[in-house]
Amino acid sequence: MVVSIVNQIPIDLKNAMLAKDKVKLAALRAIKSAFLLESTRDGSKSEISDELAQQIISKLHKQRMDAYKIYVDQNRKDLADEEIQQAEILEKYLPKQLSETEIKKELESIIGEVGASTMADIGKVMGKAMASLKGKADGSLISKLVKELLS
C-alpha cells in the first residue's frame, strides 16, 4: 500500500523525534507547518492532495536552496550546511528531477510541435513546457534552456 505524502510526514516526524535528528526534525516541521497553513488558508479545513503537497515541498526546497546560496556568498558555512542538509531531506519527498539533457530533448520536441523558430514564440513554448514538465524540472532552468534553443 502506498502512503500519501501528507500521511507520511507525521510518521517520519515521529521517527526523527525518536532518533533525535535535529536537521530532519526542522525540515519535517517546516513541511507540516506549510501543510497546516495551506489547509487553513481560506478559513476552510480542506484536504491537501499529493500534487499540492509536492508543490508546497518544492517551494520549501527552493527556499532552502536560495538561503544556501546566500549563506555561501556571506561565508556562513555553518548556516549553509544546515540549509543544504534540510534541502536534501526535502528532496526525498519530491519526484526525481530530469537532467538538463532530458529537459533539452523534451523542449526540442515541444518546439517542433508548436512550430516555434524565433524568440517571439517563447510564450507558446513556455506554456506547453511548463505544463508537461511541471514538478520534473525547475522553471528557471526551463526558461534558460528555451531561450538558448530559440536564439
B/e letters for 8-29, b = 16+ CB within 10 Å, e = fewer, are: bbeebbeebeeeeeebbbebbe
- Residue 118's SS3 state is coil
Determine contact, residues 145/100, Cβ cutoff 8 Å.
yes
Determine contact, residues 13/29, Cβ cutoff 8 Å.
yes
The class that CATH gives domain 100-150 is mainly alpha
CATH superfamily for domain 5-91: Uncharacterised protein YqeY/AIM41, N-terminal domain (1.10.1510.10)
CA 60, 10, 83: angle at the middle one, nearest 5? Answer: 30
- Indicate the domain borders of the chain: 5-91, 100-150
Record the pTM: 0.76
pLDDT in tens, the chain (151 residues): 567 888 899 999 999 999 999 999 999 999 999 999 988 887 767 788 888 898 899 999 999 999 999 999 999 999 999 999 999 999 999 888 888 888 888 888 888 888 877 888 788 888 888 888 877 788 888 888 888 888 8
